[in-house]
Amino acid sequence: MTKRIALTVTILAALAAAVPAFAGITVYTNAFKSKSDYHAITKQAGKKKKCQRNWRKKAALGVSVNGGKQTCELKTPVEGDAAQPDLIVQVVAKVTEKTEKAARKGTFVGVMVRSSRKDGYTFRVLPKTRKWELVEDKVVLEKGKDKAVKGIKKKNVLEIRAKKDTILGKVNGKAVVSYKDPAPEDVKGTGTGLSYGIKQKVKKKQAVAFFDNLKVQVPNP
């Protein structure tokens, strides 16, 4: 059995000076082409029986939620080396046709920065309703609806950027939210990750999705 990778990528602010303006420094990528790539993304939060994952077709990170309302979180090997780290997380996400109809309205997929088991920022989309939300520790900070969000059975490219006190959320290249946190120091997490789940209560229903082409970057200063 392949051992789970125990890897922590330390982000050094000095690297930012080495790239052109407006570019990000890529510190981690994962296309899930090997079993070790799959095991590099580990559980952060969520009930074990409800939050499931698998190596989908040996080419993506498959996830599912069983039994209704639940938020599941996964962490990448990348975390900041200081408080309130500036980070970018991007991933391709898709809620598949295997998601049962009763669960589709509330099924979401998302990306996280400055995250931990206790707090963090999550930018997530609900493909069925084409809605998006920016969440901090289960509290919805901003929300909206945009045609940039593609529906069920279609891929969405999700991105969240944290820079100083501003959190930016993008879907399929379009920035839909820019939130200036009045108290960024209250968020103690330094990690990065992925989020998925079902918002509403639906008994014994399943939501199925997958993540691919994960990228973590450090933004330019």
Indicate the pTM of the whole model: 0.89
What's the rounded Cα separation, in Å, for the pair 24 and 50?
35
CATH number of 65-219: 2.60.120.560
The structural domains of the chain, with segments of one domain joined by +, span 65-219
Least confident residue range of 62-71, 161-170, 210-219: 62-71
Chain CA centroid to CA 37, Å = 16
- Give the pLDDT confidence score for residue 23 in this predicted structure: 63
- Give the pLDDT confidence score for residue 204 in this predicted structure: 80
Banded model confidence at residue 6, pLDDT cuts 50, 70, 90: very low
Banded model confidence at residue 24, pLDDT cuts 50, 70, 90: confident
- Give the pLDDT confidence score for residue 35 in this predicted structure: 96
Banded model confidence at residue 27, pLDDT cuts 50, 70, 90: very high
What's the rounded Cα separation, in Å, for the pair 6 and 66?
28
Mean pLDDT of the chain: 90
Asked if 69 and 108 count as a contact pair (C-beta separation under 8 A), the reply is no
